[in-house]
Amino acid sequence: MIAVDIQNVSFSYGKAPFIEGLSAEFSAGAITSIVGPNGCGKSTLVKLIDGMCRPDAGRVLIEGKPTLAMRGKERARKVAVLSQVSRPPAMTVESLVACGRYPYQSHEGRLGKEDREQVEAAMRMAGVERFRDCDLRRLSGGERQRAFIAMTLAQDTAIIVLDEPTTYLDIGACHETMQLVCRLNEEMGKTVIMVIHDLDLALRYSDEVMVMERGVSTYAGSVDEVLRSGAIERAFGVSICAVDADEGRSYSLFPA
């Protein structure tokens, strides 16, 4: 099953083509990480998936339906995108999570019974119930990120796209966030697509990895396949050393 199918997509911000003839498939039920050097088009790919950017050529299918053929709210009921938030809004955690119900409301602001249940379930899943009345700006980076993830859960979509979910977080909060993402995948069956800078986290917590360089996908496959292919080494100019310990496997990176 293909959750998100990117078919021969080209996109440019100005005159020079930025993404050219990119094709990629994201499997349903998997955690897929998109990795690549700065400026390779990862974040643009996220914007193409949710229709924020319109491809010049090609198309993006969400569960078989072209992104641009859907109305905004219809698309928002299929795929939830958590983009990078530089400045947290001045609202409580519960208000933020309730925003996730926007795609289901014809009149904004009035939550029905099902809306409230979804909001409660999302806060419970993300472990932010006890912060419900806290202002987002008063929370730590990790708590805030969990609150935003709860908002995307309240959107009740099969697919969740995370754009650099661990940026600005300390190492403890990084792992906490990734473990939450894994639980969403295992317990709720969410398809997760994430852009992530930290290669160790990407390799540890993903089922599949897609490597991007200069607007094209150079390799995509399972973590083991990607490691064998040497695509990450070529893209970043690093060598990867898997370290096995009692606690599990981690990946150390060295300049090549």
Binding site for other proteins (CB under 8 A): 47, 50-52, 71-77, 79-83, 85, 87, 89-92, 94-96, 98-100, 102-103, 107-109, 111, 133, 137, 155
- What are residue 9's DSSP bridge partners? 22
Instruction: Decide the pairing of beta strands 159-163 and 79-82.
Output: parallel
Q: How far is the CB of 102 from other proteins (least distance, A)?
A: 4
The number of beta carbons lying within 10 Å of the beta carbon of residue 6 is 23
| Cβ at position 67, least distance to other proteins in Å | 11
Strand partners, 248: 245
CB of residue 147 vs other proteins: minimum separation in angstroms? 12
Nearest approach, Cβ of residue 95 and other proteins (Å)? 5
**CB of 20 or CB of 156, closer to other proteins:** 156
Of 80 and 203, nearer to other proteins (C-beta) is: 80
Measured over the CA atoms of residue 95, residue 153, residue 179 and residue 240, the dihedral's sign is negative
Residue 23 token pair: 């094709």
CA 204 to each of CA 122, 125, 165, 187, 238: distance values in angstroms, whole numbers, following the listed order: 25, 22, 15, 18, 17
- In the complex with other proteins, the residue whose CB is nearer, 133 or 187, is 133
The residue among 73 and 249 lying less far from other proteins, judged by its C-beta, is: 73
